[in-house]
Chain A
Amino acid sequence: GENVEQHPSTLSVQEGDSAVIKCTYSDSASNYFPWYKQELGKRPQLIIDIRSNVGEKKDQRIAVTLNKTAKHFSLHITETQPEDSAVYFCAASMTYDYKLSFGAGTTVTVRA
């Protein structure tokens, strides 16, 4: 099955700085890569996703890049704010079953 690795496990940044989280996946058949933000006790919330026919996608302060050859994808948050503090998960899935394989998560703390 698919194996998704995520780094770092924790990330502390100063407000206004950028945060970068990186993930790698093992199965070249994966073609959908979402990123989720989860606050304590809440459901995962989709913040951005990318499909394998696109190399980069941006939505305001959030961007995701995908390198299919190297099988890795990254989340970039610019101008971080305290409300960006949460656990972030990357995931990967394939069209034939749509099952999501999650990374281990990154706890992001934005220091005011």
Chain B
Amino acid sequence: GAVVSQHPSRVICKSGTSVKIECRSLDFQATTMFWYRQFPKQSLMLMATSNEGSKATYEQGVEKDKFLINHASLTLSTLTVTSAHPEDSSFYICSARGTGAPGGIYEQYFGPGTRLTVT
């Protein structure tokens, strides 16, 4: 199947600093990438949708100035958590869908996730 990588897998940062998470589709063109947040023992909550070359669309309640998303190419999207606070500590997962993926237009391929801890 298609492969999506995510980096870093774990990051610890101090309150007030910014953290960048990268999501890459390795063997297909990711027309659309999605960013999710998952708190312990909870479901995945969609934060935003990004289409290559255009501005991200944020879900209700997600601060666009705090969670900056860039989808500059068909294989890379980045999520920057700005001025991080302890309540931003979570598991962040990206997914991608697009042309050339074996599952067709519907299937999303998930990255391995990034565990963010803000101290």
Contact = CB atoms under 8 A, between A and B. Distances in A.
Contact of A42 (B44, B107, B113): B113
Contact of A98 (B45, B108, B111): B108
A32 B104 CA distance: 12
B34 to A, nearest CB: 7
B32 interface: yes
Nearest to B112: A43
A32 B107 CA distance: 9
Nearest to B106: A32
A51 B49 contact: no
Interface stretch (A58-66, A67-75, A100-108): A100-108
Given A51-B106, A93-B106, A103 B32 contact: no
Interface string B97-119: 10000010111101111010000
Interface string A32-51: 10100000011111100101
Interface residues of A, number: 22
Contacts of A44: 44, 93, 110
Given A102-B44, A104-B43, A49 B106 contact: yes
Contacts of B105: 95, 98
A89 interface: yes
Given A44-B44, A44-B93, A105-B43, A100 B113 contact: no
B13 interface: no
Interface of B: 32, 34, 42-46, 49, 91, 93, 95, 97, 103, 105-108, 110-113, 115
28 contacts: A32-B106, A34-B106, A41-B91, A41-B113, A42-B113, A43-B93, A43-B111, A43-B112, A43-B113, A44-B44, A49-B106, A49-B107, A51-B106, A89-B43, A95-B105, A97-B49, A98-B32, A98-B97, A98-B108, A99-B46, A100-B44, A100-B46, A100-B95, A100-B108, A101-B46, A102-B43, A102-B45, A103-B43
